[in-house]
Structure 1
Amino acid sequence: MRVLVVFDHPRRNSFCGAVLDRFVAGLVAAGHQAEIADLRAENFDPRLPPADEPDWEKPGKIYSAEVLREQERIARNDALAFVFPIWWWSFPATTKGWIDRVWNKDWAYDGAKLPHQKALLIGTAAGDEAGYLKRGYDEAMRTQLLVGVMNYCGIQDASLEFLFDVMQSPETRAILLARAEELGAAF
């Protein structure tokens, strides 16, 4: 399976970058092909200009060349994965802007849906699982990201994996990196 892995972190050499590396290693070990979209390194502009704004009066609108290139990249893959730090109980702004611009009307929703078989979202969290459960952050994120984005755009087999306590200790980080590789191998 061809998997587009969308990565969003300001530093590629961060712990989140190590999660990406281990996840991709698991994908490759399982026989999948991984294509990485490093949104920050590629200088993707997350702002929505008028050229990429959904137009409810013009079905089949042609979007900007940058968006068309991203749509081609998505289309040549069978599945999607996202590796990101959890900021304010969601994606970082660059990923959110990428979805806003690229997963556009009549391509990912409304007139057409994404054909992808599967999506996996891997979020790294400084907080602990108990805190997320206590406040309902986990369910809020699942509703927002899985139901409100992935399912809405046609990807029914979508899941969100939390990697909690990333700041706790080197031992915890080692366990989380092993989990990232397991997720890739089981994809």
Structure 2
Amino acid sequence: MKVLVVFDHPRRDSFCGAVADSLMAGLRSAGHLPEFANLRAEDFDPRLPVDDEPDWDDPDKVYSAEVLAEQARIVRNQAIAFVFPVWWWSVPATTKGWIDRVWNNGWAYGARKLKLQSALLIGTASAGPETYAKRGYDEAMRVQINTGMMEYCGIPRSHLELMYDVMENDATRHTLLERARQLGATWF
């Protein structure tokens, strides 16, 4: 299976970057073909210009060249994975802007939906599971991301994996990297 791995972190050499590497190693070990999209290194502009604004009266609107290139990248894959740090109980602004611009009306929702088979989202979190559960942040993120984005755009199967306590210690980080590798090898 071809899997687009969308990475969003200011530093490629971060722990989040190591999670992406482990995920891709797992994908390759299972015979999948990952394609890596580093939104920051590619300088993707997350702002929504008028050219890429949804046109509710025209589901066949042709969007900007930048968006068309991103849409082509999605189309050549069968599944998608996101690797990102959790900021303010959500994805970073660049990921949100990528979805806002690229997953547009008439292409990802509305008249047509995405043809991706599945989506895996891995969020690295500095807090522990008890912090997320205390106020329901984890469930709120699942509803927002899995239901409000992935399912809404036609992806029938999605999973948000929160990797907690990434700042804890080396043993915790090692366990989380192994979990990312395992997800790549088995989830798709």
- TM-score, with structure 1 as normaliser: 0.99
- What secondary structure, in the 3-state scheme, does the structure 2 residue paired with 1:87 have? coil
Post-superposition Cα deviations, 1:104-136, rounded to whole Å, max 9, x if no partner, equal 000000010001110000000000001111110
Aligned mates of 1:174, 1:138 — CA distance in 2: 22
Aligned mates of 2:35, 2:80 — CA distance in 1: 10
Q: Percent identity?
A: 66
1:166 corresponds in structure 2 to 166
Stretch moving more, 32-41 or 53-62: 53-62
2:121 corresponds in structure 1 to 121
Q: Is the 8 A contact 2:59 2:107 kept in 1?
A: no
1:135 corresponds in structure 2 to 135
- Structure 1: unaligned runs, 5 residues or longer: none
Aligned mates of 2:18, 2:6 — CA distance in 1: 14
1:72 corresponds in structure 2 to 72
- Structure 2: unaligned runs, 5 residues or longer: none
Moved over 4 A (4+): none
CA RMSD of superposed structures (Å): 0.5
Alignment of 1:1-187 (within 5 A): 1-186=1-186, 187=188
Aligned mates of 2:59, 2:137 — CA distance in 1: 36
Aligned mates of 1:57, 1:24 — CA distance in 2: 40
Aligned mates of 1:62, 1:79 — CA distance in 2: 24
State the AA in 2 paired with 1:71.
Q
Equivalences, count: 187
- TM-score, with structure 2 as normaliser: 0.99
- 1:56, CA displacement in angstroms? 1.3
Aligned mates of 1:150, 1:57 — CA distance in 2: 23
